Amino acid sequence: MAPRECEICHVNRAQILRPKNHARICAPCFTALFEQEVAETVESSKLFQPGERVAIGASGGKDSTVLASVLKTLNERQNWGLDLVLLSIDEGITGYRDHSLEAVKRNAEDLALPLKIVSYQELYGWSMDQVVAQIGKKGNCTYCGVFRRQALDRGAAMLGVGHVVTGHNADDVAETVLMNLLRGDLPRLSRATSIVTSTPSAAKAKSADGKVMITNVKRSKPMIYAYEKEIVMYAHHKKLDYFSTECIYSPEAFRGSARTLVKNLERIRAESILDVVKSGMDMARLVPQVQDAVPEEVEMTGGCGDAKESGGEMAAMERKLRQDEEAEANGIETEIQLARPSKSDRTEDTPNAETIALTAANDHPDGQNHDRDQLAPVTLPNRTKKQKPAVRGADKRTLPPKQKLGQCEKCGYLSSQAVCKACMLLEGLNKARPQTGIEVG
C-alpha cells in the first residue's frame, strides 16, 4: 500500500480524511485544525465579548462534550477571557438523562468547570417521565421542547449568564434546512441557520432575596460549520468521554428522514453538508423579516422528536392536545410523501407503537411504502395535524400576525400570549393530575 503521509506535516501517517475537502491528515494536525476552525468561526462572527460569562448547554453527548472541551482550550489559548460554566437540563427521563448527567459531571470535573443542573421537576413540578405517564407518548416531545427552552433561559438567568452556547453542528443545521425546505417553512429555515439567535427572552428568576432578575439570553452555535463526523473523530482522538444513546421517548419522526437524507448525501458528496448550510444561510437572506417575537423551541441536536412550533400554532396545538385526552392519537406523520389516504386518521390501523430509539424492524407491514428510513423508530402520531389544512390553505402560511411582546401573567416569562406556552401546558397537566399523586413506576 502506498504510504500516505499527512498533507500538513508530512511526517505522520494520514489518519483522517476530511469530508469538506478530502484532505488526508494525521490526528495531531486534525485536532489542531479543528480547534483553529472553531476559533475562526467564533472570532469572525464576534460571538464573544471579553470577560463574558457564557453557559455551555451540556447534555453529556458528543457535541456538547466536544464543544466544552474546545471552548475551554481556546479560551485559554486565544485569551478570550471568558467565564465558562456548564449548564445541563435534567428532563427527568430515567434510563437516559440520569446516565448522561453522569457524563456531564465527569466532563465538569475533567475540564474543571462549574456545572449547574436545572431540572424540570424543580422548575415545573413535572419530570418528563411523569408527563409521559400522564399524557402518553403523543405530544410529549412538544412539552419537552417548550420546557427545555425556558429551562435553558431560566438556568442562564440563575447563573447570571446572558449567553448560552450549544453544540449544533453542520449536519444538524443541514438537516433542519432540508426539513423546513420539505415543509415549505422558510421563516423557520432562516432562523435555524443563524449562528446567533438573539432572543429577547426574559426569564423571571427568583433569587435568594426574592428579587426578580430579567435577562436577555443570546444563543449561539460555535460549531455550526463542523461536520458531525469530525466532532466524533475529535472526541475519539482526544479520548473525550461522552454519552451516546437516543432519548428513549424520541421516535425521530420527521427529522429522522432528513437525517437519513443527509447521511446518504454525505456518502456521495460530503461537501454537500456544508453547502446545504451555506445555501440555507443564503436563503435566509431572502426571507422578509418577520416579527419573530415568540422565542422558538429549542432544537435538540439530533434525535429529538420534532417539537418546533410557532406561536399561533402552539395555541391550536394545546387545544388539540386537550381534546385528545382520550388518547385518540392522530395517525399522521409529517413525512415526505404527502399522499397518505385518510386511513391515517384512524390510529387503530396505523402501527403507532412507539419504540425505543435504536429499534429497527418496526411494525410497519410490508405493504407500506415509506420514504423514510425503515430503521427510524416508529413515529409519534403527528402533533402537527393542523398542517393538513395548512397545506391546502395558503393563508396560514403567510406572515404570522405581528405579536406583541408581553409577560406571562403566571410566571413572568416573555410571551406574546397572556399565559406562556409552558404555563399553558402545565395547566393542562396539573388539572389532569390525580389527587393521590401516583408515582411514576
Partner 1 sequence: MAEHASIPLTIEFTGGLELLFSNQRKHQVELPSSNRSPNVADLITYLCDKLMKDPRKDMFVLDGTVRPGILVLINDADWELEGQETYQLQPRDEIVFVSTLHGG
Q: E strands within 353-435? A: 406-407, 414-415
In this chain, which of 5, 7, 8, 17 binds partner 1, going by CB under 8 A? 17
In terms of CB distance, is 286 or 361 closer to partner 1? 361
Alpha helices in 184-293 (DSSP H): 186-192, 228-237, 253-268, 271-286
Supply the minimum distance, in Å, between the C-beta of residue 305 and partner 1. 11
Q: Does 246 bind partner 1 (CB under 8 A)?
A: yes
Hey, what amino acid is at 390?
Answer: A
Q: Are strands 163-165 and 53-57 parallel, antiparallel or unpaired?
A: parallel
Q: Does 244 bind partner 1 (CB under 8 A)?
A: yes
Cα angle: 171, vertex 143, 226; to 5 degrees? 15
Q: Does 351 bind partner 1 (CB under 8 A)?
A: no
Which span sits near partner 1 by CB under 8 A: 57-65, 124-132, 214-222, 281-289? 57-65
Supply the minimum distance, in Å, between the C-beta of residue 360 and partner 1. 4
Which span sits near partner 1 by CB under 8 A: 192-200, 312-320, 324-332, 358-366? 358-366
Q: Does 324 bind partner 1 (CB under 8 A)?
A: no
The answer to whether the Cα torsion of 300, 302, 305, 311 is positive or negative is positive
Asked whether the beta carbons of 376 and 333 are under 8 A apart, the reply is no
In terms of CB distance, is 360 or 418 closer to partner 1? 360
How does DSSP assign 126-167, residue by residue?
--HHHHHHHHTTSSHHHHHHHHHHHHHHHHHHHHT-SEEE--
Residue 341: all three cell numbers together: 389516504
Q: Does 220 bind partner 1 (CB under 8 A)?
A: no
- The neighbour count for residue 401, using CB atoms within 10 Å, is 10
Q: Does 187 bind partner 1 (CB under 8 A)?
A: no
Q: Are strands 217-220 and 406-407 parallel, antiparallel or unpaired?
A: unpaired
In this chain, which of 303, 312, 351, 412 binds partner 1, going by CB under 8 A? 303
Q: Does 245 bind partner 1 (CB under 8 A)?
A: yes
Residues 164-183 that bind partner 1 (CB under 8 A): 167, 169, 172
Which H or E run includes 203?
A: none
Asked whether the beta carbons of 222 and 301 are under 8 A apart, the reply is no
Total of residues contacting partner 1 (CB under 8 A): 46
Which span sits near partner 1 by CB under 8 A: 11-19, 140-148, 315-323, 421-429? 11-19
Q: Does 370 bind partner 1 (CB under 8 A)?
A: no
Residue 30: all three cell numbers together: 486534525
In this chain, which of 69, 220, 260, 379 binds partner 1, going by CB under 8 A? 260
Q: Does 405 bind partner 1 (CB under 8 A)?
A: no
In this chain, which of 99, 206, 236, 322 binds partner 1, going by CB under 8 A? 236
The answer to whether the Cα torsion of 376, 87, 174, 78 is positive or negative is negative
Q: Does 35 bind partner 1 (CB under 8 A)?
A: no
By rule CB under 8 A, what string of x and - marks binding of each residue 63-102 to partner 1? xx--------------------------------------
Q: Does 300 bind partner 1 (CB under 8 A)?
A: yes
**Phi, psi dihedral angles at 354 (to 5 degrees):** -75, 145
Q: Does 247 bind partner 1 (CB under 8 A)?
A: yes
Which H or E run includes 172?
A: helix 170-183
**Rounded-to-integer distance, Cα 330 and Cα 350, Å:** 9
Name every residue whose Cβ is closer than 8 Å to that of residue 159 and which is 6 or more positions away in sequence. 53, 55, 85, 87, 116
In terms of CB distance, is 242 or 413 closer to partner 1? 242
CA distances to 31, 37, 63, 130, 281 from 6, rounded to whole Å, are 13, 18, 26, 52, 33
Q: Does 375 bind partner 1 (CB under 8 A)?
A: yes
In this chain, which of 99, 374, 404, 438 binds partner 1, going by CB under 8 A? 374
Instruction: Classify 30 as helix, strand or coil.
Output: helix
Residue 79: all three cell numbers together: 485569551
Supply the minimum distance, in Å, between the C-beta of residue 93 and partner 1. 12
What is the DSSP secondary structure assignment for residue 382, as one 8-state letter?
P
In this chain, which of 16, 151, 177, 380 binds partner 1, going by CB under 8 A? 16
Which span sits near partner 1 by CB under 8 A: 48-56, 185-193, 257-265, 274-282? 257-265
Q: Does 263 bind partner 1 (CB under 8 A)?
A: yes
Supply the minimum distance, in Å, between the C-beta of residue 248 and partner 1. 11
Which H or E run includes 226?
A: none
Interacting residues toward partner 1 by CB under 8 A: 1, 4, 13-17, 24, 27, 59, 61-64, 167, 169, 172, 228-229, 231-233, 236, 244-247, 250, 259-260, 263-264, 266-267, 300-304, 357-361, 374-375
